Amino acid sequence: MERIPVLRMGSLLLITIQVDMHDKLALQLQDDVTQRISEWGSTGVLIDISSLEIVDSFIGRMLANIAAMSGVLGAATVVVGMQPAVAITLVELGMSLPGVRTALSVEAGMELLFGSVAGLPSGPGDERTEA
Amino acid sequence: MSNLAEIVSKNEARLLPDWIQGMSTAVQRADLMSKTELDEQCRALLNRIVAGVKSSDPTNVDSPGWSTTREFLRDLAITRARQGFSPVDVATFVLSLKQPLFASIREAQTKDQSQMFETLWSATELLDRLALITTEAYMAAKEELITRQQQELLELSTPVVKLWDGILALPIIGTLDSARTQVVMENLLESVVATNSKYAIIDITGVPTVDTLVAQHLLKTITAARLMGAECIISGVRPQIAQTIVHLGINLEDVITKAKLSDAFALALQRSGRTVTRVASAPVSPISGLFTRREE
Amino acid sequence: MSAQKREELPLKTSNDVVIARQRVRQLAVELRFSLVDQTKLVTAASELARNALDHGKGGTMTIEVLTQGIRSGIRLVFEDQGPGIADVEQALKDGFTTGSGMGLGLGGSKRLVNDFSIESHVGKGTRITVARWR
């Protein structure tokens, strides 16, 4: 079945959500992220929601869950690119997404996670060549 | 009434010129519309009225047989609203058709007074309804125009200023009502994304009063900005506002507030890892013999 | 005020929820709602559609277009024959702020729309009507 791809960049997991997710897809993503963190020993998770036009309470809970679960597994999570209309609606809904760090862009998100984009630490078994 | 239909058909050719001629200069509004355009409109309207009167339900302007007429009148109203016609102009335009029409009716039925009365009555009712439809559409168009202009005014009155890379300022002048605060909020958040600014300073020096509703809206704005990954600082809090906020029991624990915009700016600079340093004074070229030249 | 029914959509699978909110989005765009108003309505639709599915054991969403003078609006009716809500008052207050737990999202949805009404009987079902005006 279709899945949201989880990409690896060193010890960072990069997830770009571009589709209108139905509930099963969201739950699958939660699963995949936790699996990958365990497998690859990732220490950072970056979720790009700049294409998401709707974040309802279910999706909001999914994001909060991913942050919480990743935290337990030793990884920090940052959600980036939230659209203004989405932010306004979430506030009205009363969702504050506790435990979820946010940033305006992918770069800002990476800075938050690792201090700087260049300083991206590589994880074990990484295929990237060292600079 | 088939009588009306008959009379209109027989006199079609005469009605148009009589109508146009009979229109006073006040109704014509040559300043807003050319003679040719006016002739065209009259012709087009009359054609449709003739069609309507000949339809299966001639006296009911809401029936399908009159739909093209209704549409035409609505479009006419919208165009004229934009062109600057007054509501009186628009209604009179339609009503002025009564004169030539009544003349034709009188001519045709002068021998039968009671029937003439009935036909006149149908005719006047018809034109009244058409005039009302036109006026209603005109009002709606004007309202929409005004609403749009109000919106534009709202947006213009709250500019967003870029103080530095990643630091925005929103100086708000004047009272903040519900509608305006919404616009301010949306403006702010859009700008934050567009300029990739992590810090937004909302300066309320120019806001005379802050009530619970306004405070709530500001708080929502700040929460929304935070959700997106940006931080808001409120500056320009005057003593009276500070008092009001405490009296109203508004909770500003999570919000950074500063009395002066400059303090807020300094804070934003600091938080984004920047400092302002004074560079050793550059040599000043003498503009007169009063100053001595410095060694470089 | 006049109401014109547009369509009735089933809410039987989680994909139906996605379809439902996309239809609402399409209509809101067609009626030229502002982006924020669109987002609020579509999000409310998503919440309520999901409720009908998860708590109401499946149901329907009916979309109507409303006109009142120059104003236009969208009305959505969510109906299910599920277990119903015993304490509506409580449901409207129910937890969602923590982002976890069973929160039915009703209170939140109410804040996203202009008109909100709910009828629910235990054992019979629930009917929630919401409307948002342009």
| ipTM confidence score | 0.86
pLDDT band at B47, cuts 50/70/90? confident
List alpha helices for chain B, DSSP H: 2-22, 25-28, 35-54, 67-83, 87-95, 98-109, 113-156, 178-195, 212-228, 239-247, 261-271
- Residue B287 above 90 pLDDT? no
**H or E element: which one contains C24?**
helix C14-30
Note down the domain range covering B173.
161-271
What is the pTM assigned to this prediction?
0.70
**B108 shares a domain with B32:** yes
| Average pLDDT over every residue of B131-157 | 84
What does the alpha-carbon distance between residue C58 and residue A115 come to, in Å, rounded to a whole number?
48
**B135 shares a domain with B20:** yes
**B147 shares a domain with B35:** yes
Structurally, how many domains does chain C consist of?
1
- Percent of chain B having pLDDT more than 90? 24
**B173 shares a domain with B111:** no
pLDDT of residue B264: 95
- Residue B291 above 80 pLDDT? no
- Give Cβ neighbours of residue B263 (< 8 Å, ≥ 6 apart): B235
Interchain proximity C35–A85, CB inside 8 Å: yes
- Do the strands C115-121 and C125-133 form a parallel or antiparallel pair, or are they unpaired? antiparallel
What does the alpha-carbon distance between residue B100 and residue B106 come to, in Å, rounded to a whole number?
10
pLDDT band at B289, cuts 50/70/90? low
List the single residue in C with minimal CA-CA distance to B136.
C69
From C66's Cα to the closest Cα of chain B, the distance in A is 16
Chains with ≥3 Cβ pairs under 8 A against C?
A, B
- Residue B86 above 50 pLDDT? yes
pLDDT band at A100, cuts 50/70/90? very high
B89 vs B192, residue with greater confidence: B192
Interchain proximity B227–A96, CB inside 8 Å: yes
> What are the pLDDT digits (tens) for C90-119?
777 755 433 344 455 688 899 999 999 999
Give domain status of residue A103, yes or no.
Answer: yes
| Test mutation, C14, C48, C92, C111, chain A, max A CBs within 10 A | C14
| Ramachandran region, residue B213 (left: φ > 0; alpha: ψ -120 to 50; beta: rest) | alpha
Residue A50 sits in a domain of what CATH number? Answer: 3.30.750.24
**B135 shares a domain with B267:** no
- Residue B137 CA to its chain's centroid (Å): 16
Residue A80, SS3 per DSSP: strand
| Test mutation, A20, A24, A30, A56, chain C, max C CBs within 10 A | A56
- Percent of chain A having pLDDT more than 70? 87
**B167 shares a domain with B102:** no
Give domain status of residue A48, yes or no.
Answer: yes
Using the Cβ of C70 and the Cβ atoms of chain B, whether some distance falls under 8 Å is answered with yes
What does the alpha-carbon distance between residue B245 and residue B247 come to, in Å, rounded to a whole number?
6
Asked which of B118, B139, B154 is the last residue of a domain, the reply is: B154
Please identify which residue in the block is written with the tokens 């809206």. Answer: B217
**B267 shares a domain with B231:** yes
CB B174 within 8 A of CB B206: yes
- Set of chain C residues whose Cβ sits within 8 Å of the Cβ of A23: 14, 17, 50
Using the Cβ of C99 and the Cβ atoms of chain B, whether some distance falls under 8 Å is answered with no
**B125 shares a domain with B16:** yes
Please give the backbone phi and psi of residue A126, each rounded to the nearest 5 degrees, phi first.
-80, 135
Residues making up chain B, counted from first to last: 296
What does the alpha-carbon distance between residue B178 and residue A1 come to, in Å, rounded to a whole number?
47
Asked which of B128, B154, B180 is the last residue of a domain, the reply is: B154
pLDDT band at C130, cuts 50/70/90? very high
List the single residue in A with minimal CA-CA distance to C18.
A22
pLDDT of residue B288: 58
Q: Which pair of tokens denotes residue C127?
A: 């009917």
- Residue A125 above 60 pLDDT? no
| Average pLDDT over every residue of B231-237 | 93
**B173 shares a domain with B141:** no
- Residue A129 above 60 pLDDT? no
Q: Which of B186, B197, B220 sits opposite A84 (nearest CB)?
A: B186
What does the alpha-carbon distance between residue B221 and residue B160 come to, in Å, rounded to a whole number?
15
Note down the domain range covering A89.
6-114
Note down the domain range covering C36.
2-133
pLDDT of residue B38: 85
**B150 shares a domain with B8:** yes
Structurally, how many domains does chain B consist of?
2
- Residue C132 above 80 pLDDT? yes
Residue C73 sits in a domain of what CATH number? Answer: 3.30.565.10
Asked which of B118, B136, B154 is the last residue of a domain, the reply is: B154
pLDDT of residue A126: 44
Give domain status of residue B286, yes or no.
Answer: no
Cβ atoms < 10 Å from Cβ of B98: 19
Q: Which of B140, B144, B186 sits opposite C36 (nearest CB)?
A: B186
Give domain status of residue A125, yes or no.
Answer: no
Triad B57, B59, B64: Cα angle to 5°: 45
pLDDT band at B212, cuts 50/70/90? confident
Give domain status of residue A27, yes or no.
Answer: yes
> What are the pLDDT digits (tens) for C38-92?
999 999 999 999 989 988 889 999 999 998 877 899 999 999 998 888 888 877 7
pLDDT band at A99, cuts 50/70/90? confident
pLDDT of residue B283: 65
Please give the backbone phi and psi of residue A23, each rounded to the nearest 5 degrees, phi first.
-55, -40
Structurally, how many domains does chain A consist of?
1
Q: Which pair of tokens denotes residue B127?
A: 């034109």
**H or E element: which one contains A96?**
none
Interchain proximity C39–A98, CB inside 8 Å: no
Give domain status of residue B281, yes or no.
Answer: no
pLDDT of residue C97: 39
Residue A21: strand pairing partners: none
> What are the pLDDT digits (tens) for C17-30?
999 999 999 999 99
List the single residue in A with minimal CA-CA distance to B185.
A88
**B193 shares a domain with B106:** no
**B133 shares a domain with B27:** yes
| DSSP code for B175 | -
Fill in the amino acid letter for C130: V
- Do the strands C59-68 and C2-11 form a parallel or antiparallel pair, or are they unpaired? antiparallel
